[in-house]
Amino acid sequence: MLDINFIRNNPDRVKQAIVHKHENAASIDQILELDTQRRSAIHACEQLKSKRNEKSKEVSELKKKGQNASAIIEETKKIGDEIKSYEEKLSGLEPQINNLLLRIPNIPATDVPIGKDAEDNVIVKAWGQRKTFDFAPMSHWELGRILNILDLERSSKISGSGFILLKGYGAKLERALFNFMLDVHTREHGYTELFPPFLVNRASMTGTGQLPKLEDDMYRTATDDLFLVPTAEVPVTNIHRDEILSYKEIPLYYTAYTPCFRREAGSYGKDTRGIIRVHQFNKVELVKIVKPETSYNELESLLLNAEKILQLLGLEYRVAKLCTGDMSFAAAKCYDIEVWAPGVGKFLEVSSCSNFEDFQARRMNIRFRDEDGKLRFVHTLNGSGLALPRTVIALLETYQQKDGSVTVPEVLQPYMGGINVIVKK
RNA sequence: GGAGAGGUGGCUGAGCGGCUGAAAGCGACGGUUUGCUAAACCGUUGUAGAGACUAAAUCUCUACCCCGGGUUCGAAUCCCGGCCUCUCCGCCA
């Protein structure tokens, strides 16, 4: 959420930013108009309240002396009615303003390239050698079927399309990967491991910015109005909602494994084969809560922490700095990490590392008391470290051999019971 | 799911419908004293909003004692609804 004061003082800058993010800037004028009405109503209302307080005091003094106060009481009743009418006006205006404000996207940072869509993203880094094959590399779904580790026919029988059933070494590989990732982030990168709830309430979903805009993309349990987490970002960042932290306790680094649930509404027909785009997937997430002046350095190190996983797995990847049009609603700056999948012949997004500045902190009301005792909003960041299905895709497709077996990278072998190759059982 | 108890500032804990933004204690911060530390003593110690040419400092006002309504001239205090916590019972992995 943006600061209403900031919008008031910089309406053109905000509108420009919204246009760059390909959202509708018209609501800014509407917000400003409603805000003017709101403030004048507050002013009038508060003056009346002040008057009422004075009169009430008079009543109390008269009564103490045993005198009749009915004239003043009558007068004050009328003031009370007027106050009520202003309060009604305000209780109409405030949710309107708030709803509009919650739908205004964050402003991109100044060094974010202005652009329309993924075409305009800027590749800022490429790592690893392109793997060459002396045979035609297979796709992960072919490999999964041959090795009997991935069974998409049966998962769609159980749940529907977009769900994954892993078997045998496929299941083990999944578990190996998120354990490995959590170990790297906790041991080498200083993150605290968390295991959060997988169902969260509306306030949490609003805090990180999934609601109100993206409700259609979320799984919701109707009876209790709880949402299945679309990412660990939601429960983890909301840990400190409505809290005041000390400058001594931040930065906070958290990592958590959760499954992630996404309806993927509106993406029908995209990436329908295999496990590139699914409704439920596993992910290890990195979340940082930091001081504003450090957040851009923290973003760079967060990105490196996520990249480290691919480096250790020996998978080729590249890093894209997203343009304004491709960034998410809440982000001020965002890098995507894309891993090369030779079987499908594509780079696949496995991580999005974002700095939200104080956009989420404002929604969640997470502040900290700085060295001078002042209250300020923290900055929040997060990134996948990493999303599993696409990492599995890259792994299977990159390490496949002519006979369909897949070698296991050395770092994963201890997590896989010591085996160095997955063969058909 | 049933029965009961309770939610007050950073924490503990008072609070009669007006004199309570809130006693007292603890903690924290500043100061005096001290070679240093401790102790003692003195002082300070919430947040948000609106307004004052106002960006900062300052001042004025308003609101906030879990949240939302209501009663009243006036609510931390009375009434209703909700949320949360604790205890007991039931059910259950």
Averaged pLDDT for residues A22-26: 91
With vertex at residue A212, the alpha carbon angle to CA A209 and CA A213, rounded to the nearest 5 degrees, is 80
pLDDT tens-digit profile of A183-198? 999 999 999 999 999 9
- Mean pLDDT lowest for which of A158-172, A312-326, A336-350, A368-382? A368-382
A417, pLDDT greater than 90? yes
State the Cα–Cα distance between residues A310 and A308, nearest whole angstrom. Answer: 5
Same domain, A40 and A128: no
- How does DSSP classify residue A256? E
- Let me know if residue A17 belongs to a domain: yes
Contact A306, A383 (CB under 8 A): yes
Are both A88 and A176 inside the same structural domain? no
Residue A409 resides in a domain: yes
What is the distance in angstroms measured between the alpha-carbon CA of A205 and the sugar C1' of B86? 28
Residue nearest to nucleotide B72 (CA to C1'): A77
Q: How far apart are CA A230 and CA A209, in angstroms?
A: 12
Average pLDDT of A395-418? 97
Same domain, yes or no, for A321 and A208? Answer: yes
Lowest average pLDDT, out of A47-56, A260-269, A408-417, goes to A260-269
Q: Token pair 């058909």 is at which residue?
A: A424
Task: Return the amino acid letter for A3.
Answer: D
DSSP annotation of A107: P
Q: Are A285 and A258 spatial neighbours (Cβ–Cβ below 8 Å)?
A: yes
Please provide residue A235's backbone torsions phi and psi, each rounded to the nearest 5 degrees.
Answer: -65, -35
Domain assignment of residue A97, given as a range: 4-102
On average, the pLDDT of chain A sits at 94
* Mean pLDDT, rounded, for A85-89: 92
User: In the prediction, which pLDDT does A371 show?
Assistant: 83
- CA A369 / C1′ B49 distance in Å: 20
**Greater model confidence, A286 or A65:** A286
Co-location of A219 and A286 in the same domain: yes
A88 and A141 housed in the same domain: no
A39 is catalytic: no
Which 8-state DSSP code applies to residue A68?
Answer: -
pLDDT digits over A286-296, tens only? 999 999 999 99
Please report whether residue A363 resides in a domain: yes
Mean pLDDT, residues A23-32: 93
Q: Work out the number of other CB atoms within 10 angstroms of the CB of residue A383.
A: 25
Residue in this structure with the two tokens 């009405």, named with its chain if needed: A37
pLDDT over threshold 80, residue A268: no
pLDDT of A267 strictly over 90: no
Nearest nt (C1') to A367 (CA)? B47
In the predicted model, what is the mean pLDDT of residues A397-423?
Answer: 97
What is the token pair recorded at A110? 């100044």
**A124 in Cβ contact with A321 (< 8 Å):** yes
pLDDT at A404: 96
A139, A155, A352, A384: which one is catalytic?
Answer: A352
Predicted confidence (pLDDT) at residue A49 exceeds the cutoff of 90: yes
Same domain (yes/no): A195, A86: no
Q: Is A349 known to be catalytic?
A: yes
Output the domain CATH number for residue A66: 1.10.287.40
For residue A43, which nucleotide's C1' is closest to its Cα? B50
- Does any domain span residue A112? no
Could you tell me if A63 and A184 lie in one domain?
Answer: no
Confirm whether A362 is a catalytic residue. no
In a domain, A110, yes or no: no
Residue matched to tokens 């009743």? A77
Are A13 and A157 found together in one domain? no
Peptide bond into A228 cis (omega under 30): no
The tokens describing A232, both together, are 């660990």
A262 is catalytic: yes
Last residue of a domain, one of A58, A74, A102: A102
Question: A337-368, pLDDT tens digit by residue?
Answer: 999 999 999 999 999 999 999 999 999 999 99
Nucleotide closest to residue A373 (CA–C1'): B29
Q: How many domains does chain A have?
A: 2
Residues A147 and A72 in one domain: no
- Position A18 confidence tier, pLDDT thresholds 50, 70, 90: very high
Within 8 A by CB and 6+ apart from A276, the residues are: A344, A348, A389, A390, A393
CA of A224 to C1' of B91 (A): 19
Same domain, A324 and A182: yes
Q: Is the pLDDT of residue A317 over 90?
A: yes
According to the model, what pLDDT value does residue A131 have?
A: 95
Structure-token pair, residue A190 = 């200083």
What's the pLDDT score for residue A303?
98
Structure confidence by residue, pLDDT tens digits, A365-382: 999 988 888 889 999 999
Note whether A74 and A126 are same-domain residues.
Answer: no
Catalytic-residue membership of A352: yes
Q: Which of A44, A74, A102 is the last residue of a domain?
A: A102
Res A270: pLDDT: 76
- Asked if residue A337 is part of any domain, the answer here is yes
| Domain co-membership, A92 together with A159 | no
Q: What are phi and psi of A371, to 5 degrees?
A: -60, -25
The CATH number of residue A132's host domain is: 3.30.930.10
Query: What is the β-pairing status of strands A317-321 and A122-127?
Result: antiparallel
Evaluate whether residue A214 is within a structural domain: yes
Q: Helix, strand, coil: what percent of chain A each, to 5?
A: 45, 20, 35
Nucleotides of B under 7 A from a protein CB: 18, 47-51, 61-63, 69, 73-74
Domain boundary pick from A102, A132, A158: A102
Confidence of residue A266 (pLDDT cuts 50, 70, 90): confident
Three-state DSSP at A129 gives coil
> Which residue in the block uniquely carries the two structure tokens 């800027």?
A122
| Residues forming a β-bridge with A333 | A355
Share of chain A above pLDDT 70, in %: 100
Asked whether the CA dihedral A227, A230, A231, A237 is positive or negative, the reply is negative
Residue A251 domain-assigned (yes or no):
yes
Show residues, CB within 7 A, near nucleic chain B.
A 4, 39, 42-43, 46-47, 49-50, 52-53, 55-57, 59-60, 63, 73, 76-77, 80, 91, 375
The pLDDT score that the predictor gives to residue A269 is 74
Burial class (CB in 10 A: 0-12, 13-18, 19+), A130: exposed
Cα separation, A233 vs A334, in Å, equals 15
Of the pLDDT bands very low, low, confident and very high (cuts 50, 70, 90), residue A105 is: very high
Residue A176 has pLDDT above 80, yes or no: yes
Q: What is the pLDDT of residue A51?
A: 93
